[in-house]
C-alpha cells in the first residue's frame, strides 16, 4: 500500500465516545483537509472483538488516522496491519491517556516510564505497515516530569522511526486525578512543546491541549508543525469552517450550517436503513449552531428526535425557531 501524504497542520483529537465515524462524517462536511482521528481502540478489542464496528469508516473521511491502545509489539503490529488494510492514513499509538482502566492495562500515559518498550512497539508497527506511525503522549507523568526526561523519551522513541509526535502540553498525574481533572488541573505548558520542536527540529511535532480556536491554532503554528484541537471542536464544530482557507490556503469547506444540516438529514436516513438509531448520529450535531440565534431550539429538536422524521424540517428552519 502506498501511503497518502499527510498534512498535519490541523487535526481533531481522538476522544473516547465522541470521535466515532458519525462525528467524523459531520466534521468532514465542514472541513475537507483537517486530519481526523478515531477514538482509541485497544488491541484486545480489535483482535478479539467486533472488527467491523471498530474499523468501519466512510471513504469520504480521509485523511483519517486510527489510534491504538496497547503495549505488546506483536499485537500492535497485527492491529496496525488491520488498520492499514482497511485504508487508514496513519496509525497512532496512545501514550497519553491517564485513566485507571488504561493504566491497569499497562498502556496509555504510564508507558512514558518505558520509552524502550514504546520504541519496540513503534518499530513493530513500522515494520508491519507502509502508512505513517505516530505517537501521542504527555509532557510527563507523576514525578517523571523533567524536560530532560521528556527529551529522553522522545529521543528514544524517535530512533524507532516514529513519523510524528503529538504532544499534549500537560503532564498527567496517574494517581489522585481523574481523566477529566488531568485535562484541566496540571498547568498547560505550550512553551515546553515549543522547546521540544527547537531541540528536535527534524521531527514533526504537533501540539495538543487547551487550543480552542483557529486564531490560537495559527499562533501555535509559528512554533510547531501542527495543532490538534479537541473538545472545542466537538462542542462547536463550525469553528473549523474556515480551516481549509485559513490553515491550508484551499477553498472553504461547507458554505453554511444549513447546508450541513441538510446533508445530515440525508445521512441520518441512510444510516437508519442500516439499523443505526438517529440519536447515534444526531448527538454529535448538537453544537452545529453553537453561538447563533436558534441554537437552543436546534439542540432541543435534536434531543427530542427519536426518529429521522425530525429531518423533514431543515436545519435552517429548526435553528431559527423563536
Look at residue 67 and tell me whether its pLDDT is greater than 70.
yes
The pLDDT, as a whole number, for residue 179 is 81
Residue 150 has pLDDT above 90, yes or no: yes
* CB contact at 8 A, 153 and 122: no
Question: Is it the case that residue 275 has pLDDT exceeding 60?
Answer: yes
Query: For residue 18, what pLDDT is reported?
Result: 97
Confidence (pLDDT) at 313: 44
Active-site choice (79, 97, 110, 121): 97
The DSSP string of 3-30 is: PPP---SEEEPP-TTTSSHHHHHHHHHH
**The pLDDT of residue 182:** 82
Residue 106: what pLDDT? Answer: 76
Given a cut of 50, is residue 315 above it in pLDDT?
no
Would you say residue 321 has pLDDT above 80?
no
What average pLDDT score do residues 174-191 get? 86
Q: Which residue has the higher pLDDT, 148 or 315?
A: 148
pLDDT band at 102 (very low <50, low <70, confident <90, very high): low
Spell out the long-range contacts of 15-18 with Cβ–Cβ below 8 A and sequence spacing 24 or more: 15/39, 15/230, 15/231, 15/234, 16/40, 18/234, 18/284
Q: What does the pLDDT read at residue 4?
A: 56
Q: Is the dihedral of CA 247, 253, 255, 256 positive or negative?
A: negative
b/e per residue 92-108 (b: at least 16 CB within 10 A): bbbbbbbbeebbebebb
Model confidence at 316, in pLDDT bands (50, 70, 90)?
very low
Residue 297 has pLDDT above 70, yes or no: yes
By CB atoms closer than 10 A (0-12, 13-18, 19+), residue 260 is buried
The pLDDT value recorded for residue 3 is 52
List, in sequence order, every residue forming a beta bridge with 226; answer none if it has no partner: 206
Does pLDDT of 193 surpass 50?
Answer: yes
Task: Please give the average per-residue pLDDT across 199-217, as a whole number.
Answer: 98
In angstroms, the CA 157 to CA 159 distance is 5
Q: Is 97 assigned a catalytic role?
A: yes
Name the residue with higher pLDDT: 113 or 1: 113
Domains of the chain: 10-246 (3.20.20.70), 257-319 (1.20.120.1460)
Closest CA to 91 of 164, 1, 12, 16: 164
Asked whether residue 184 carries a pLDDT value surpassing 50, the answer given is yes
210: left (phi over 0), alpha (psi -120 to 50) or beta: left
pLDDT of residue 103: 58
Nearest of 244, 279, 286, 243 to residue 261 by alpha carbon: 286
Given a cut of 80, is residue 308 above it in pLDDT? no
User: Mean of the pLDDT values across residues 32-54?
Assistant: 95
pLDDT top residue among 208 and 100: 208
The predicted pLDDT at position 180 comes to 82
> What local confidence, expressed as pLDDT, does residue 300 receive?
87
Looking at every residue in the chain, the average pLDDT score rounds to 91
Pairwise pLDDT comparison (102 vs 222), residue with the higher score? 222
104 band by pLDDT with thresholds 50, 70 and 90: low
Amino acid at each position: 500500500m502506498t501511503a497518502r501524504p499527510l498534512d498535519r497542520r490541523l487535526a481533531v483529537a481522538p476522544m473516547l465516545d465522541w470521535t466515532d465515524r458519525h462525528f467524523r462524517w459531520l466534521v468532514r462536511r465542514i472541513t475537507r483537509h483537517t486530519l481526523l482521528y478515531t477514538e482509541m481502540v485497544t488491541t484486545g478489542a480489535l483482535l478479539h472483538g467486533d472488527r467491523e464496528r471498530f474499523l468501519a469508516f466512510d471513504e469520504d473521511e480521509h485523511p483519517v488516522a486510527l489510534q491504538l491502545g496497547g503495549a505488546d509489539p506483536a499485537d500492535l503490529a497485527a492491529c496496525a496491519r488491520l488498520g492499514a488494510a482497511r485504508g487508514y492514513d496513519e496509525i497512532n499509538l496512545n501514550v497519553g491517556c491517564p485513566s485507571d482502566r488504561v493504566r491497569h492495562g499497562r498502556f496509555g500515559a504510564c508507558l512514558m516510564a518505558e520509552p524502550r518498550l514504546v520504541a519496540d512497539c513503534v518499530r513493530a508497527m513500522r515494520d508491519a505497515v507502509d502508512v505513517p506511525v505516530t505517537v501521542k503522549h504527555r509532557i510527563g507523568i507523576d514525578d517523571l516530569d523533567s524536560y530532560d526526561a521528556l527529551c529522553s523519551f522522545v529521543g528514544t522513541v524517535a530512533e524507532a522511526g516514529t513519523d510524528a509526535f503529538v504532544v499534549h502540553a500537560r503532564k498527567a498525574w496517574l494517581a489522585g486525578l481523574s481523566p477529566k481533572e488531568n485535562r484541566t488541573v496540571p498547568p498547560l505548558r505550550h512553551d515546553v512543546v515549543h522547546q521540544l520542536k527547537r531541540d528536535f527540529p527534524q521531527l514533526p511535532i504537533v501540539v495538543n491541549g487547551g487550543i480552542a480556536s483557529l486564531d490560537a491554532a495559527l499562533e501555535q503554528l509559528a512554533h510547531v508543525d501542527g495543532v490538534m484541537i479537541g473538545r472545542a471542536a466537538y462542542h462547536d464544530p463550525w469553528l473549523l469552517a474556515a480551516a481549509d482557507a485559513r490553515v491550508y490556503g484551499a477553498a472553504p469547506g461547507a458554505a453554511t450550517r444549513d447546508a450541513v444540516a441538510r446533508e445530515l438529514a440525508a445521512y441520518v436516513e441512510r444510516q437508519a436503513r442500516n439499523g443505526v438509531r438517529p440519536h447515534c448520529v444526531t448527538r454529535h450535531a448538537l453544537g452545529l449552531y453553537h453561538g447563533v440565534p436558534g441554537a437552543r431550539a436546534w439542540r432541543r429538536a435534536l434531543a427530542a428526535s427519536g426518529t429521522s422524521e425530525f429531518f423533514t424540517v431543515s436545519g435552517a428552519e429548526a435553528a431559527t425557531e423563536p
